[in-house]
Amino acid sequence: MTGPDSAVAAETDTAGPATAPVTLLIADDDEVTRSGLRTLLAAQPQILVVGEAADGVEAVEQARLLRPDVVLMDVRMPRRNGIEATRQLLAESLDPPKVVVITTFENDDYVTTALSAGASGFVLKRRPVRQIAEAVRVVAAGETILFPAALRRMVTAHPLSSAKALPKAALTGREEVVLRMMATGRSNSEIAQALTVSLETVKTHVGNVLSKLGAQNRTHAVVIAYESGLVMPGFTT
């Protein structure tokens, strides 16, 4: 993902690409969209599409059965939407799949709620398939897809109650600095270089931030930073 409105922020720093393909479950209530995504993504390197689901109930059932690495999750689905499906998937397993939300509009108010529920990032359906595939691979590797500018716009329009988490967290000054850098899409390595500290020190700070905020993952922590006002429009590091 490249461009002024996107960034990839690493939660872990991997040594190289995985040799095994990423197993993927596609959940979307539109059969044409779902079938098209399956065909296109199955042709991408290092991706193995193992199943489909037409709604959130099927997504949870198929994830239990197939144990994919990643679920590409539409948010607006019948019976159970992608938000509730994401919450259930992450709550019921010690090793749940990563969830990437896929949506038509970046200002969809469901997206921020899904990120707060534990999704690792989001992609737009109109993106080229190679970018969607890259998002799937990046998340499967333990990283997070962040779009700082888009997240900021969504959170400003649709603030959530998780903003209350920051004042209660009692972050140290250094932890706040690390969280601000995370919110601009910097990886752990980039944060370590900017702060002139070791990578292990940054990982410790990131872990402390997630723990204190009660955040599901790095993306959720960044959502909280924007919601709380810690990161303001136009902020850079």
Residue 31 scores a pLDDT above 90: yes
Higher pLDDT, 152 or 114: 114
Q: Minimal CA–CA distance to 98: which of 68, 56, 124?
A: 68
Q: Residues 131-185: pLDDT tens digits?
A: 899 889 988 887 766 665 556 665 555 555 555 656 667 889 999 999 888 887 7
| Residues, the chain | 237
Q: Name the phi and psi angles at 141, rounded to 5.
A: -80, 0
* Position 106 confidence tier, pLDDT thresholds 50, 70, 90: low
- Looking at residue 28, its pLDDT comes to 95
Q: Name the phi and psi angles at 81, rounded to 5.
A: -75, 170
Mean pLDDT, range 23-44, rounded to an integer: 94
Query: In this structure, are residues 179 and 225 in contact, taking their beta carbons and an 8 Å threshold?
Result: yes
* Residue recorded with tokens 């198929």: 62
* Position 235 confidence tier, pLDDT thresholds 50, 70, 90: very low
Higher pLDDT, 165 or 105: 105
Average per-residue pLDDT in the chain?
80
Find the range with the poorest average confidence among 23-27, 31-35, 142-146. 142-146
Residue 38 scores a pLDDT above 90: yes
Query: In this structure, are residues 56 and 63 in contact, taking their beta carbons and an 8 Å threshold?
Result: no
Higher pLDDT, 123 or 142: 123
- Looking at residue 35, its pLDDT comes to 93
- Looking at residue 51, its pLDDT comes to 96
Residue 75 scores a pLDDT above 90: no
Query: In this structure, are residues 138 and 131 in contact, taking their beta carbons and an 8 Å threshold?
Result: no
Most confidently modeled of 14-28, 59-73, 126-140? Answer: 59-73
Bridge-based pairing of strands 70-74 and 121-124 is unpaired
DSSP string, 72-104: EEESS-SSS-HHHHHHHHHHH-SSPPEEEEEES
* Position 15 confidence tier, pLDDT thresholds 50, 70, 90: very low
DSSP string, 100-166: EEEES-TT-HHHHHHHHHT--EEEETTS-HHHHHHHHHHHHTT-EEE-HHHHHHHHHHS--GGGGHH
Task: Enumerate residues 6+ apart whose C-beta is below 8 A from 220.
Answer: 115, 116, 118, 162, 210, 213
Mean pLDDT, range 85-102, rounded to an integer: 88
Residue 46 scores a pLDDT above 80: yes
Using a CB cutoff of 8 Å and minimum separation of 24, what contacts does 122-126 make?
Answer: 122/147, 123/1, 125/33
Mean pLDDT, range 22-41, rounded to an integer: 95
- Looking at residue 125, its pLDDT comes to 87
